[in-house]
Structure 1
């Protein structure tokens, strides 16, 4: 079971009222339907289950046609300060690409669902929602919310007016799609094979308006501590990470090899990964990242040796990957990180 911050419950019900999908009486009942007091202060650290949140969005969508637009309305209302330390880390990052890297790295501080992976393809950067295994409407709406919020935060921190290249949505085109175009201000591709915000690399590397290296490092440390307190790994995920970690010195194991070690077929393992919203390549990256951090902190191995032990073909490839994870070189990480 996953979770999501109650910030989004407050935002969802405020959006339903503003769209006239719900009145104040209905708002109170919807709060109570997920076990929350509508008069309680908003706490970014308070969570509800993902199933409860999906159900809430689905109930709002059934109120009337406007309820289906609530995710975009929520996203349009989000700002960095709504996310606490997570939002401040986004705001203080050097550039938008670094902000997106923080979302990829620390997203589970806010929710275990609708997390992102950052991909660069040619001249574009894709902020792509990692797909969960549940096909229900509430999850699709949550993915739309995540992209709409990314749009708002990108506008907030960008030093110039921000326009994406496009937004890609797996949902089918609704009869009325004005709300999507008004918020994203770019072409909207419905029925796509993924949910993603596409941004030009030139826009992604522009300095953020309020970038501050000192603050950025402070909030990264704070979020690392928060993340370490979240124990959300399933037995399957941890088992796969362990198998990959043990094999890396011999090269990156294939999914079939890991499946064999775990006593199941490749097809069964792939099905179980999909059911938990996991991607094998993401687990490989996570295992490499974790092992490289341990080796840098706890050993005196040369960087070339660490590259080999974490499954990279050479030191330069390892260094590039490590800079994507930490926005600094392995040598600087080893120097700046306590044992």
Structure 2
């Protein structure tokens, strides 16, 4: 077992990253109950660095950050506060395209198509709802752990916040659906959304009246729209393949894990780079060596657990753990379940 099996490579390199902007806003909104430097450092971010939405962090690390915050402060209202604070300009070209669309329907359609430029864990769908209503649906796979649930609430609140910034009259959705259980009180949610919020629903979605969807946006501009769509389409065409350096680095990390935790200098040398150049180039993709290694171990573990020929002891060894118990603790931290439970659910 000196090498990672080749049949795993395709599934292994799916990226599961989110923009660091939400992490920074969550920490900032939490107030004095959270130590900002330590909280951001836990996901590989420097509190003193400029806020750059193009810097990405692993989704699992983001969920863990939210769960650790929930141990220290009351997070009932936090995701709504953060979603409400999001501005169109926070999203770069995608946010400008949202503003420049002729109607709210056009804005939502742009998010539906181009959101994957910002995140690998969320997608959106526009679907006909009840009479004269449209569902703007949030799709996010993964176990309904607390961090994912809080992230979903913030995302749905950000959708409504962005709608309010472009609508020519005060905007509130018809209803908001969330699949997870309600917090201890939903009064703040319903007050801010301005509509009923139904928890334990069949989907995560904002219900918008067709009248609101077809109302002209206050900043709609056909000329700017054409330019931005051209720009986003070009980005999308380049998006399908992960950066070669990231793919090569993850392959090298995976192959070295059975010798223990890899060192950045060794991986860089194998790629023909100095440690400094390797660090800089990873930073250009919004990554650190630590987060890349952690993500590689998790993805490798998930892939190997789907293959019955590998025992849990084998997988612990292949992912760089000296003891199976250490692997079990790490996997439970990543996905909220033990490796054995994960394997049973993926048979």
Report TM bin, short chain.
0.5 to 0.7
Matched, 1:12 2:20: no
Q: After TM superposition, where is structure 1 displaced by more than 6 Å over at least 4 residues in a row?
A: none
Picking from 116, 134, 137, the partner of 1:128 is: 137
Query: 1:92 — aligned with what?
Result: 100
Query: 2:289 — aligned with what?
Result: none
Q: Is the 8 A contact 1:114 1:143 kept in 2?
A: no
Give the superposition deviation at 1:69. Answer: 2.7
Partner of 1:130, secondary structure, is strand
Matched, 1:62 2:65: no
Equivalent residue pairs, number = 229
Q: Is the 8 A contact 2:166 2:217 kept in 1?
A: yes
Cα shift readout 1:131-152 (whole Å, capped 9, x = no counterpart)? 3133222222211111100000
Superposed, which structure 2 residues align to 1:174-253 within 5 Å?
174-231=183-240
Matched, 1:116 2:124: yes
Matched, 1:153 2:167: no
Query: 1:72 — aligned with what?
Result: 80
Q: Following the alignment from structure 2 to structure 1, what is the Cα–Cα distance between the partners of residues 239 and 78?
A: 29
Query: 1:171 — aligned with what?
Result: 180
Give the superposition deviation at 1:129. Answer: 0.6
Partner of 1:142, secondary structure, is helix
Q: Following the alignment from structure 1 to structure 2, what is the Cα–Cα distance between the partners of residues 98 and 68?
A: 32
Cα shift readout 1:38-75 (whole Å, capped 9, x = no counterpart)? 011111211111111111111112213x2243221110
In structure 1, runs of 5+ residues without a counterpart are 234-271, 276-339
TM-score calculated relative to the size of structure 1: 0.65
Partner of 1:67, secondary structure, is coil
Identify which range, 181-190 or 198-207, moves more after superposition.
181-190
Query: 1:81 — aligned with what?
Result: 89
Cα shift readout 1:9-66 (whole Å, capped 9, x = no counterpart)? 111111111xx542xxx111001101111011111211111111111111112213x2
Cα shift readout 1:219-257 (whole Å, capped 9, x = no counterpart)? 111112222232369xxxxxxxxxxxxxxxxxxxxxxxx
Query: 1:292 — aligned with what?
Result: none
Q: Following the alignment from structure 1 to structure 2, what is the Cα–Cα distance between the partners of residues 85 and 136?
A: 31
Query: 1:38 — aligned with what?
Result: 47
Higher relative contact order, structure no. (Cα contacts within 8 Å, ≥ 6 residues apart): 2
